[in-house]
Amino acid sequence: MATVCKVRGINLNYSAKYLVNFDVIRDMVLETGAEPTVNVHTEKKIKRRRKGGTVAIVTEPEDKTYRISFFKRRRLSGNSSVPLGYK
């Protein structure tokens, strides 16, 4: 059975799929000795640049940092979470 991993904001290409995958994300959530962030480097990222009303297409390297965030949830013991205002 194949595992499908979708990560918001990161293009999962051939090199990135070895850095960000299910096992890495699981270890980050469970905090089992995993590093809290993963840096993904893309050598050739196509971007749009706006210059004085015109748009230019450029290709340049890009670095992105992936980390687990719980901005709208509060973590409880036993790896469960509740919404921020929950009592």
What is the reported pLDDT for 32? 66
What is the reported pLDDT for 33? 65
pLDDT-derived band at 60 (thresholds 50, 70, 90) equals very high
What is the reported pLDDT for 34? 65
- Output the pTM of the full model: 0.61
- Above 80 in pLDDT, residue 3? no
- 20-47 burial, b at 16+ Cβ within 10 Å, e below that, comes to beeebbeebeeeeebeeebebebeeeee
